[in-house]
Amino acid sequence: MALKILHNPRCSKSREALALLESRGFHPEVVEYLETPLTLPELQTLHRQLGTPVRAMVRDNEDDYRELNLADDSLTDTQLLQAVADRPKLLQRAIVVQGDRALIARPPALLNDWLKQVDLG
């Protein structure tokens, strides 16, 4: 099954993750999510694939995070994901997806163990 990377070419960690994949012989589908933002349903699927809290998907050091008061603990997962759908730069990067699994590759070295566990057949 093919790999996909949700990529921001301006982010050094995202570039490192893509380079690591390519150095290991993988040619992932590259989705520049700032150019092609994910919809709320796509983000909900990604959340299930990651198996992490929604807040782990959100970049809390962005100005938009503060402007939208996303630190508010009363916000639901759907509200947080809708904020990411509306302002895609809030999405953590890079995220690598394979089948029903995904990984926030931060730091990119996390990919080394993850790639050993996924079925790339």
For 21-53, the pLDDT digits (tens) are 999 999 999 999 999 999 999 999 999 999 999
pLDDT band at 120 (very low <50, low <70, confident <90, very high): low
Choosing from 4, 11, 77, 110, the catalytic residue is 11
pLDDT of res. 84:
98
Report the side by side order of strands in the sheet with 3-7.
29-32, 3-7, 95-98, 101-104
Q: What is the pTM of this model?
A: 0.93
Residue 38 CB coordination number (10 Å): 19
Read off the pLDDT of each residue in 48-76 and give the average, rounded to a whole number. Answer: 97
Give the residue from 102, 107, 95 showing the smallest Cα distance to 118.
102
- Position 47 scores a pLDDT of 98
Nearby residues of 1 by Cβ (< 8 Å), 6 or more positions away: 98, 99, 119, 120, 121
Residue 11 is among the residues annotated as catalytic for this protein: yes
Tallying the residues shown for the chain, one arrives at 121
List, in order of start, the domains of the chain with CATH numbers. Answer: 3-117 (3.40.30.10)
